[in-house]
Amino acid sequence: MKDLAFYDGYSSEIDNMTIPFCDRAHFFGDGVYEVAMARNYTIYALDEHIERFYASADALKINIAYSKDELSSLICSLVRRLDSDEQSVYWQVTRRYGDEAREHTYSEGAQGKLWVMLRPSKIKDIYNPVKAITLPDTRWHHCNIKSINLIPAVMYAQKAKEQGAYEAILYRKGGRVTECSHSNVHIITSNGVFKTAPADNMILAGIARSHLISACRSLGIEVDESPFTIDEMMNAEEIILSSTSGMCMVCDSIDGKSVGGKNKAIADAIRHWVMTDFIEKTS
Ligand code: PLP
């Protein structure tokens, strides 16, 4: 198949799929999701994505009809049905709707609807630096939940695109940098420390972020998981953005000003570590 959609036990090519009108995704965005990358029909960091998926679903009390092992096996079997061996692997669960078409409250215990979407895709080129803009972070305070409510992220990403940038870096009142529209952001400080926002409710703790931390630990680079400000970021030795599809993107321009570029050796070493890990684990 060229691509695949799965909904509540039924699967087809994406264009053939229809979704029940009353699915709570439509009225409330009442669901959580994951995105992983597959190469050679192997899903990279699947266990980590599965763990985060269940944690997000638990936080919203959405029940998943499968055990973690069953869900992993199901997704792996769907991945094998595509022609392309390099894929973006998306899945989400939405809360099961009741008799009332659009009622805010819900009955606990009902099993959610599982959606899966598979499309041919490759990881992004991580060897060319990217540009970013900054924007105030006006989102809710549950950013640790990977909710399908992504309208703020859509607005930020669109503003970045309109200004020719890859990402929008977000900051809260007082100048604390949180994350980006669809990536985490990290800095290398003047004393060679990898600094990344703490994994609290102000950010989504990225799987790629955890790989960057592993890279640093194995390379002997000190890691500091504490908040940093816009000023610290603008003066940092390097600024790195990370996400599942763009595992380690060096940022060389923020709001039109040149930034980073002062410790290429560290940035290169981290990038090399994560890319090697991806290649090895999907070979
Ligand atoms: N932060 C936000 C808001 C995101 O939406 C994402 C990815 O979608 C990330 C961070 C990066 O997470 P991951 O590395 O798991 O892709």
Backbone angles phi, psi at 179, to 5 degrees: -155, -155
Contact 205, 221 (CB under 8 A): no
From the CB of residue 255, how many other CB atoms can be counted at a distance below 10 Å?
A: 15
Q: Domain total for the chain?
A: 2
pLDDT of residue 110: 85
Ligand 1 near 242 CB (within 6 A): yes
Mean pLDDT across 105-130 = 95
Token digits of residue 163? 């200004």
DSSP 39-99: ETTEETTHHHHHHHHHHHHHHTT-B-SS-HHHHHHHHHHHHTTSS-SSEEEEEEEEPPP-S
**Span from the CA of 226 to the centroid of ligand 1 (angstroms):** 18
Of 124, 131, 146, 281, which is the active-site residue? 146
Ligand 1 near 208 CB (within 6 A): yes
Mean pLDDT across 128-152 = 98
Which of 99, 120, 141 finishes a domain? 120
Nearest Cα to Cα of residue 3 among 75, 114, 79, 76: 79
Tell me the C-alpha distance between 51 and 55, whole Å: 6
240 falls within a domain: yes
CATH for 204: 3.20.10.10
Element housing 36 (H / E): strand 31-39
Ligand 1 near 211 CB (within 6 A): no
pTM: 0.97
Residue with CA closest to ligand 1 atom 5: 182
Per-residue model confidence as pLDDT tens digits over 7-37: 999 999 999 999 999 999 999 999 999 999 9
- Give yes or no: 262 in active site: no
Per-residue model confidence as pLDDT tens digits over 157-201: 999 999 999 999 999 999 999 999 999 999 999 999 999 999 999
pLDDT class of 109 with cuts at 50, 70, 90: confident
Q: Is the pLDDT of residue 98 over 90?
A: no
pLDDT class of 100 with cuts at 50, 70, 90: confident
pLDDT of residue 107: 87
144 falls within a domain: yes
pLDDT of residue 169: 99
Mean pLDDT across 213-238 = 98
Q: Which residues pair with 7 in a beta bridge?
A: 10, 115
Same domain? For 100 and 135 the reply is no
Q: Among 34-48, 73-87, 88-102, 199-213, which is the least confidently predicted range?
A: 88-102
**Span from the CA of 145 to the centroid of ligand 1 (angstroms):** 11
What is the extent of the structural domain holding 16? 4-120
Q: What is the CA radius of gyration of the chain?
A: 19
Nearest Cα to Cα of residue 43 among 81, 72, 5, 10: 72
Same domain? For 113 and 211 the reply is no
Query: Mean pLDDT across the chain, nearest whole number?
Result: 97
Which of 120, 147, 182 finishes a domain? 120
